[in-house]
Chains A and B, each alone.
Chain A
Amino acid sequence: MLLNPANYWRKNKNWNNFVGKLGEVVFVTRVEVTSPELQSFLPYCFAIVEMDGERYEFMGEKGIELKKGDKVEFVFRKVSDSNNSSLINYGIKLVLKK
């Protein structure tokens, strides 16, 4: 779902709680059909992740395969496709921590 500018601004106040931190995949699915603004990321993982006893839901970075129990890092990435005149949306995604 595309974030509008106001929501984008409200949400980015929380990014520093995640960027660079580590979590563990609780359950994950590989999404192969999605909304128009996420088409270029397909297929992508969508996971419930646990960090410091709390659970969150995030997309995986394009192309990565995640499975239950994987250690992941929260990173700052583009989260939706934008056209030439719209904002480029960034947010938190997951990458596999080796």
Chain B
Amino acid sequence: MKKQTDKNAVREIKSVKIVGSFISDHFGELWDKSLNDLIKEAVFGVLKNVSKDGDFDPKEIEAVYIANMASGIFNNQLHLNAVVSELFEHFPPSIRVEGACASGSLAMITAQDALNSGRYKTVMVLGVEKMTDFNSNEATKVLSSASDYNFEYGSTFPALYALLAKAHMHKYGTTREQLSAVSVKNHAHALTNSKAHFNKLFTLEQVSQSSMVADPLRLLDCSPVSDGSSAVILSTKDSGKLLDGKTVNYKNKPKIIGMGHAQDFLSLANRKSLTSLNATIKAAKDAFKQAGLTSKDIEVAEVHDCFTIAEILAIEDLGFFKKGTGGQATLDGQTTFGGKVLINPSGGLKACGHPVGATGVKQVAYLAELLENGIKVKTDRSKKIMNFKYALAHNVGGSGATVVVHILEK
């Protein structure tokens, strides 16, 4: 982490390690699991994943940050911090963080701030959403609460991104086929991820001919309504304790070396640009500055592809591709294995699923596992492991009013 000296500099942060990560058994329509089941799965799952030598000692967790968008509506539960804290014998302090689809990454930076201040040394961040007890029309209504309620009535989440897509198509000539290429690629990536909501390949034609949701966005341009949970354990210490008293060394654990958080108007009508998410540009600038890196250093990224146009906006605004070229780059295979930068190897929100509060934490958990273990890639004759040094997570709230970017290092 570079130390900055100018007055607008991003302050230096402590080295925060991701010492454990977990993504629930599966994202999807999990009829047999309740909100509380998903929370328990993540808490006990991440405690198991810190070390192969045994379970992590829960007393090491000094505080828990839980991310969720709408359990008050979906599940009639508005006291999630207590729900998660009581799973521990020592009742650690717990805080719920809500910021629409960026709830997960906002919980991450809230936790990091507590670690950087020195208040805590080891904390858990957990994201969860239980959505599928509502039908898709009801879920559409709940998710529309992420828009500007008073100035955008009649809007839906897909409608707002459809307007962004129209603007991008108008200015840069982005095509229907290029939007479809994002979906096709992410569904293909999800085949490598056993936890993905969907494990099915689609063709460009199938995406382009799926039912219309909000012109030009069709059903297969949209991320699904999913249930799921995810968790990470963050620490500024060099080691921790397992339940049997053994020590687990954090030396080789992935680190968070940069973070950026920026905001913009809720309402699209008030935005300076409809072809960029300015909050992404600002958050990325801060994250790269803090990490001492540029977009050229990033080999793999999980970006917020709630709709296909959102991924095209993201890969341009993050600096991976010039404005207006993200769609063609995707169509040309530049964002898959063997391309310029690997985007959404998990399948992204589109195919891995989008349990809203869990997504931002899942992106970091997935990338931490990727940095630790690499990813198996099929070649012509065999399978090989691809390894990465740097990774980036990009999480968006609403149609771009909130954006958080994290940069991780192996």
Q: Measuring CB to CB, which residues of chain A are less than 8 angstroms from any residue of chain B?
A: 1, 3, 7, 10-11, 27-39, 41, 44, 46-48, 55-59, 68, 79, 91
- Contacting residue for B156 out of A11, A27, A31, A56, CB 8 A: A31
Point out the residues of chain A lying under 8 angstroms from B136, CB to CB: 33
Contact present for B137 and A1 (CB under 8 Å) = no
Question: How far apart are A5's CB and chain B's nearest CB, in angstroms?
Answer: 14
Taking the complex as formed, is B172 at the interface, i.e. its CB lies under 8 A from any CB of chain A?
Answer: no
- Contacting residue for B141 out of A35, A46, A56, CB 8 A: A35
Contact present for A91 and B158 (CB under 8 Å) = no
25 contacts between A and B (CB under 8 A): A1-B153, A3-B153, A7-B150, A10-B150, A27-B163, A28-B166, A29-B214, A31-B213, A32-B213, A32-B214, A33-B140, A33-B214, A35-B140, A36-B137, A36-B138, A37-B141, A38-B154, A48-B274, A56-B151, A57-B152, A59-B153, A59-B154, A68-B170, A79-B154, A91-B153
Point out the residues of chain B lying under 8 angstroms from A36, CB to CB: 137-138, 141
Point out the residues of chain A lying under 8 angstroms from B315, CB to CB: none
Contact present for A34 and B137 (CB under 8 Å) = yes
- Contacting residue for B159 out of A3, A10, A31, A56, CB 8 A: A31
Given A7-B149, A31-B154, A47-B163, 4 additional A-B pairs, CB 8 A: A3-B153, A29-B214, A33-B137, A34-B137
Residues A46 and B214 in contact in the complex (CB < 8 Å), given A1-B144, A31-B159: yes
Taking the complex as formed, is B155 at the interface, i.e. its CB lies under 8 A from any CB of chain A?
Answer: yes
Closest Cβ neighbor of A44 among chain B residues = B154
Contact present for B267 and A57 (CB under 8 Å) = yes
Contact present for A46 and B166 (CB under 8 Å) = no
Taking the complex as formed, is B364 at the interface, i.e. its CB lies under 8 A from any CB of chain A?
Answer: no
Point out the residues of chain A lying under 8 angstroms from B145, CB to CB: 1
Tell me, in angstroms, the Cα distance from A39 to B215 when the chains sit together: 17
Point out the residues of chain A lying under 8 angstroms from B141, CB to CB: 1, 35-37
Contact present for B269 and A11 (CB under 8 Å) = no
Contact present for B214 and A30 (CB under 8 Å) = yes
Tell me, in angstroms, the Cα distance from A16 to B136 when the chains sit together: 35
Point out the residues of chain B lying under 8 angstroms from A29, CB to CB: 159, 162-163, 166, 214-217
Residue among B140, B153, B270 having the largest count of chain A Cβ atoms under 10 Å: B153
Closest Cβ neighbor of A14 among chain B residues = B150
Tell me, in angstroms, the Cα distance from A93 to B188 when the chains sit together: 42
Taking the complex as formed, is B256 at the interface, i.e. its CB lies under 8 A from any CB of chain A?
Answer: no
Point out the residues of chain A lying under 8 angstroms from B267, CB to CB: 57
Question: How far apart are B351's CB and chain A's nearest CB, in angstroms?
Answer: 20
- Contacting residue for B214 out of A7, A31, A35, A57, CB 8 A: A31
- Contacting residue for A57 out of B151, B170, B212, B216, CB 8 A: B151
Residues of B127-142 at the interface with A, using a CB-CB cut-off of 8 Å, are 136-138, 140-141
Taking the complex as formed, is B190 at the interface, i.e. its CB lies under 8 A from any CB of chain A?
Answer: no
Taking the complex as formed, is B167 at the interface, i.e. its CB lies under 8 A from any CB of chain A?
Answer: yes
Residues of B62-78 at the interface with A, using a CB-CB cut-off of 8 Å, are none
Question: How far apart are A33's CB and chain B's nearest CB, in angstroms?
Answer: 5
Taking the complex as formed, is B125 at the interface, i.e. its CB lies under 8 A from any CB of chain A?
Answer: no
Tell me, in angstroms, the Cα distance from A50 to B225 when the chains sit together: 33
Question: How far apart are A52's CB and chain B's nearest CB, in angstroms?
Answer: 13
Closest Cβ neighbor of B165 among chain A residues = A29
Point out the residues of chain B lying under 8 angstroms from A32, CB to CB: 211-215
Contact present for B159 and A46 (CB under 8 Å) = yes
Question: How far apart are A49's CB and chain B's nearest CB, in angstroms?
Answer: 8
Tell me, in angstroms, the Cα distance from A41 to B212 when the chains sit together: 16
